[in-house]
A and B are shown apart, each in its own frame.
Chain A
Amino acid sequence: AQSVAQPEDQVNVAEGNPLTVKCTYSVSGNPYLFWYVQYPNRGLQFLLKYITGDNLVKGSYGFEAEFNKSQTSFHLKKPSALVSDSALYFCAVRALSSNTGKLIFGQGTTLQVKP
């Protein structure tokens, strides 16, 4: 069965410092991985994805993620955090069945960036 784990419920970081939000996955075969962000009272917004190719993926709002096959990880990173980055972040893996594009989400990590 496919699954995604986000080991931290909350990450706290000071504005201007680098941030990392961790994600590990469990799939058989090649994974298709995604990061989404949810601001309060809003829907999820797509940040970035890894399908194939370069292990370092760049996305929206200065975020990037590194795919590491040996560690089965897909950590989200940003070199310099902003207060406005404070939100709930979800890592997700796409189901491998060719018949569906459903996403399996991690539990989410709340990012708190303090001024």
Chain B
Amino acid sequence: DSGVTQTPKHLITATGQRVTLRCSPRSGDLSVYWYQQSLDQGLQFLIQYYNGEERAKGNILERFSAQQFPDLHSELNLSSLELGDSALYFCASSVAGGARWGEQFFGPGTRLTVL
């Protein structure tokens, strides 16, 4: 158990809909990362937040947005969903320094299926 939790585990929805994925980082970790894993694209970085502020953006569509709240949990919002958005979405968190610097701790993922 990495200490990172994600809800829900599975999400089935229809095209055009909007969903919210939730992530709680490990206690004390200030950074949260979102990744998308799909068969054709592999594992792609979407966005990073550090202590409530957006730190880096990757291949994130304009239909997707995220935020990190004062309690450090994060939400990834996916709107106007398309079939191609079906994927496994991972959240990860990391420490700022120390012996485990650079390591990311991954949650179990949310499997999104768009029908």
Q: Which residues of A contact B (CB under 8 A)?
A: 32, 34, 36, 42-46, 49, 51, 90, 94-95, 97, 99-108
Contacts and interface: CB of A to CB of B under 8 A. Distances in A.
A105 B106 contact: no
Residue of B4, B31, B56, B90 with most chain A CB atoms under a 10 A cut-off: B56
Nearest to B46: A102
Given A95-B56, A102-B56, A103-B104, A44 B48 contact: no
Contact of B58 (A49, A51, A99, A102): A102
A83 B33 CA distance: 32
A101 B94 contact: yes
A102 B32 CA distance: 10
Interface size class of B (residues with CB under 8 A): 20 to 34
A45 B90 CA distance: 12
Contact of B42 (A42, A102, A108): A108
B102 interface: yes
Contacts of A45: 2, 106
Interface in B56-113: 56, 58, 90, 92, 94, 101-109
A95 B48 CA distance: 12
Contacts of B45: 102-104
B90 A43 contact: yes
27 contacts: A34-B103, A42-B108, A43-B4, A43-B106, A43-B107, A43-B108, A44-B43, A44-B106, A49-B102, A49-B103, A97-B56, A99-B55, A99-B56, A100-B48, A100-B56, A101-B33, A101-B102, A102-B33, A102-B45, A102-B48, A102-B56, A102-B58, A103-B104, A104-B45, A105-B44, A107-B42, A108-B43
Contacts of A49: 102-103
Nearest to A102: B45
Contacts of A94: 102
Contacts of B92: 44
A102 B36 CA distance: 13
A34 B108 contact: no
B107 A105 contact: no
A42 B1 CA distance: 10
